[in-house]
Chains A and B, each alone.
Chain A
Amino acid sequence: MDQFEVKVFIRLRPSVLDPAGEAIKSASSKLGVEGIKSLRIGKMIEVKIESNEEDIKEKIDLLCDRLFANTIIEDYEYSINKL
Chain B
Amino acid sequence: MASFTVGIVVFPGSNCDRDVAWALEACLDIKTKFLWHESSDLNDVDSIVLPGGFSYGDYLRCGAIARFSPLINALHDFVKSGRRVLGICNGFQILTESGFLPGALVANKNLNFICDDVDLNVITSKGGWFKKLDEKQKIKLPIAHGEGRYHCDQDTLKSLIDNDLIALKYITNPNGSTSDIAGITNKKGNVLGLMPHPERACDESIGGIDGLYTLKSLITQ
Contact A23 B111 (CB under 8 A): yes
B176 within 8 A of A: yes
A19 contact set on B, CB distance < 8 A:
107-111, 176
A12 cross-chain contacts in B, Cβ below 8 A: 106
Report chain A residues within 8 Å CB of B60: 67-68
Set of chain B residues within 8 Å of A70, measured between Cβ atoms: 61, 64, 97, 104
Bound-complex Cα distance A17 to B108 (A): 10
Determine the main DSSP class of B at the interface with A. loop
Q: What is the minimal beta-carbon distance from B201 to any residue of chain A, in angstroms?
A: 28
Q: A23-B111, A70-B97 are in contact. Are A17 and B152 (CB under 8 A)?
A: no
Q: How far is the CA of A79 from the CA of B151 in the complex (A)?
A: 29
A70-B61, A70-B97 known; A17+B109 contact, CB < 8 A: yes
- For window 124-160 of chain B, which residues contact chain A by CB distance below 8 Å? 149, 151-153
Find the residue from A15, A20, A67, A68 having the highest chain B CB count within 10 A.
A67
B84-117 with Cβ < 8 A to chain A: 96-97, 102-104, 106-111
Is A33 interfacial (CB 8 A cutoff)?
Answer: no
Interface residues on A, range: 10 to 19
Chain B residues within 8 Å of A73, by CB:
104, 106, 151
Q: List 8 A-B contacts (CB under 8 A).
A: A17-B176, A19-B107, A19-B108, A20-B107, A67-B64, A72-B103, A72-B104, A72-B152
Residue of B nearest to A71 (CB): B104
Give the 5 A-B CB pairs with smallest separation, nearest first: A72-B104, A73-B104, A19-B111, A19-B109, A70-B104
B residues in contact with A16, CB < 8 Å: 106, 151
Q: How far is the CA of A70 from the CA of B105 in the complex (A)?
A: 11
Chain A residues in 8 Å Cβ range of B61: 70
Instruction: Provide the residues of chain A in CB contact with B96, threshold 8 Å.
Output: 72
B94 nearest CB across to chain A (Å): 12
Which has the most chain B C-beta neighbours within 10 Å: A15, A17, A20, A68? Answer: A17
> What per-residue 1/0 map shows which CB atoms of B151-193 lie under 8 Å from chain A?
1110000000000000000000000100000000000000000
